[in-house]
């Protein structure tokens, strides 16, 4: 039985939802999912872009370069570790209580945590406790962030017209490059307003905190948006009415029978494409462009900003193409292309030191568009692979848990370097990732004609 509070909340939401036309509810859900992805990625990149230059604020002085790198990486890694936990927790909330409720709870949570990080004193005030608190807060932040898309994305896909689900999935993922561009612009503005020049400078004192406060405000606005503008999924409500509360056990239902087989297939697919994604979005800018090609700060920033602007549109284009030719077909084509053309372009980029800046930037853009193209299709596909009862949990776990093994790509590169030049190892990983992604796709059916049962 639902509590009185739950019933009152559902009644208020339901009354508002049924008073609004379906198209209005559909657009509100899709906008909410796009901004959930946008704010999620904005928050993910805060420590990478805004905080990384001043990590010394939370660390003792005179640390070795290696120790500084480890401590800085932990801030990012702990966020990633929290995401699968959040996906599981909020996935079950979304399947049991509702997609909308899960979105409100998770968005509110990471808004509060992000604000706490903005207010966190540094090493001079709290000593090593300041760094420990930063890591713990980022871990908790990761849990809430993992839940942010687990409710919002199934809600949007369930509201979408069958013929438009590909476009909607691509649009949602376009929030990722939009967030990357935004956080870089805001951080650059803060560097201009509050220059960084040592521990006592304006940026080190308060400048880095502004992007975090801005991120917390964005989360608060999104929570209010879901509270007042977004209606619960009609697909979920229809299914929820057919199932007794005692039978609604998304996790146990997900791990057995057909749903369990679907989850395994999604995990294989996603492991491959997470591996190729990490090579492009993490190793390419930090390893290839900086340490191999020695791009200046201006050249690196310019190249990445152009690339992510193009990716915003390419994700949408991939989603629409997948709608036309089929999601499974798209993955089956993209995987081998990544393993061949993508691997060759990566090799060419790393072995052409005399290439002009314009040509190199063009090559990076083409490489990024090709290798990351599956991500414009992934949100729609994973949601279509699971039935309503376990859709949010399946999507959350399939999307988040699969990132764990690919996250150790640097160790794989180190192991492969015993058999080949280190510069070739990311090329080999692109081949492996593309083929794993293709294999995962071929293990599953085509999904573009899956019917959610919502009126058009």
Tokens 């604020």, located at residue:
57
Tokens 């039985």, located at residue:
1
**Identical fold between 15-234 and 252-445:** yes
Predicted TM-score of the model (pTM) = 0.87
Whether the per-residue pLDDT at 1 is higher than 50: the answer is no
Q: Alpha helix (H) ranges present in 390-424? A: 391-400, 409-416
Listed range (25-34, 137-146, 202-211, 283-292) with the worst mean pLDDT: 283-292
**3-state helix/strand/coil string of 237-300:** HHHHCCCCHHHCCHHHHHCCHHHHHHHHHHHHHHHHHHHHHHHHHHHHHHHHHHHHCCCCHHHH
Whether the per-residue pLDDT at 330 is higher than 60: the answer is yes
Q: Give 251's pLDDT tier (boundaries 50, 70, 90).
A: low
CATH superfamily of 252-445: MFS general substrate transporter like domains (1.20.1250.20)
d(CA 4, CA 211): 39
Listed range (60-74, 99-113, 367-381) with the worst mean pLDDT: 60-74
R_g of the chain computed on alpha carbons: 22
d(CA 227, CA 229): 6
pLDDT digits (tens, 9 = 90+) for 402-418: 988 998 888 899 899 99
Domain range annotation of the chain:
15-234, 252-445
Greater confidence (12 vs 212) lies with 212
Whether the per-residue pLDDT at 246 is higher than 50: the answer is no
Whether the per-residue pLDDT at 71 is higher than 70: the answer is yes
5, burial (CB in 10 Å: exposed 0-12, middle 13-18, buried 19+): exposed
d(CA 266, CA 440): 7
Listed range (13-17, 294-298, 416-420) with the worst mean pLDDT: 13-17
- What is the average pLDDT across 372-393? 94
Please state, for a pLDDT cut of 70, what percent of the chain lies above it.
Answer: 91
Largest Cα–Cα distance of the chain, in whole Å?
69
- What is the average pLDDT across 124-150? 90
d(CA 334, CA 273): 10
Q: What tokens were used for 160? A: 């979408």
d(CA 442, CA 304): 33
d(CA 227, CA 225): 5
Q: Give 14's pLDDT tier (boundaries 50, 70, 90).
A: very low
Question: DSSP code of 386?
Answer: S
**Crossing angle of helices 22-45/128-159, nearest 10°?**
160
Task: Name the phi and psi angles at 334, rounded to 5.
Answer: -65, -40
Whether the per-residue pLDDT at 189 is higher than 80: the answer is yes
Q: What is the mean pLDDT of the chain?
A: 88
- What is the average pLDDT across 77-88? 86
Tokens 């932990």, located at residue:
74
The answer to whether 36 and 226 are in contact (CB under 8 A) is no
pLDDT given at position 169? 96
CATH superfamily of 15-234: MFS general substrate transporter like domains (1.20.1250.20)
Q: Give 10's pLDDT tier (boundaries 50, 70, 90).
A: very low
């Amino acid at each position: 039985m639902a509590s009185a509070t739950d019933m009152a909340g559902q009644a208020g939401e339901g009354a508002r939802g049924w008073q609004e036309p379906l198209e209005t509810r559909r657009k509100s859900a899709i906008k909410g999912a796009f901004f959930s992805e946008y704010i999620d990625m904005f928050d993910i990149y805060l420590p990478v872009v805004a905080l990384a230059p001043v990590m010394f604020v939370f660390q003792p002085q005179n640390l070795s370069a290696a120790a500084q790198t480890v401590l800085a990486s932990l801030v990012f890694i702990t966020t990633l570790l929290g995401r699968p936990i959040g996906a599981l927790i909020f996935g079950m909330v979304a399947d049991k209580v509702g997609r909308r409720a899960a979105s409100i709870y998770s968005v509110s949570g990471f808004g509060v945590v992000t604000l706490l990080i903005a207010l966190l004193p540094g090493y001079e005030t709290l000593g090593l406790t300041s760094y420990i608190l930063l890591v713990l807060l980022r871990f908790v932040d990761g849990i809430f962030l993992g839940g942010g898309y687990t409710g919002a994305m199934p809600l949007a896909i369930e509201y979408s017209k069958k013929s438009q689900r590909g476009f909607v999935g691509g649009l949602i993922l376009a929030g990722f490059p939009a967030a990357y561009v935004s956080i870089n612009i805001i951080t650059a503005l803060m560097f201009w307003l509050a220059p960084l020049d040592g521990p006592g400078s304006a940026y080190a004192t308060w400048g880095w905190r502004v992007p975090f406060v801005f991120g917390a405000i964005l989360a608060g606005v999104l929570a209010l948006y879901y509270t007042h503008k977004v209606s619960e999924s009609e697909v979920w409500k229809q299914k929820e009415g057919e199932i007794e509360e005692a039978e609604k056990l998304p996790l146990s239902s997900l791990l057995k029978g057909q749903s369990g087989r679907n989850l395994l297939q999604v995990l294989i697919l996603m492991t491959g494409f997470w591996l190729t994604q990490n090579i492009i979005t993490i190793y390419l800018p930090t390893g290839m462009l900086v340490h191999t090609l020695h791009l200046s700060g201006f050249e690196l920033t310019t190249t990445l900003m152009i690339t992510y602007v193009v990716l915003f549109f390419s994700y949408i284009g991939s989603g629409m193409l997948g709608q036309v030719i089929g999601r499974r077909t798209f993955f089956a084509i993209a995987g081998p292309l990544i393993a061949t053309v993508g691997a060759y372009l990566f090799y060419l980029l790393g072995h052409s030191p005399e290439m002009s800046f314009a040509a190199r930037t063009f090559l990076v853009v083409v490489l990024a568009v090709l290798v990351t193209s599956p991500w414009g299709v992934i949100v729609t596909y994973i949601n279509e692979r699971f039935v309503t009862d376990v859709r949010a949990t399946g999507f959350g776990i399939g999307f988040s848990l699969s990132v764990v093994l690919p996250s150790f790509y640097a160790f794989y590169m180190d192991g492969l370097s015993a058999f080949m030049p280190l510069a070739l190892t990311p090329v080999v990983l692109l081949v492996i990732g593309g083929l794993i992604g293709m294999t995962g796709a071929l293990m599953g059916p085509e999904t573009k004609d899956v019917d959610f049962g919502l009126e058009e």
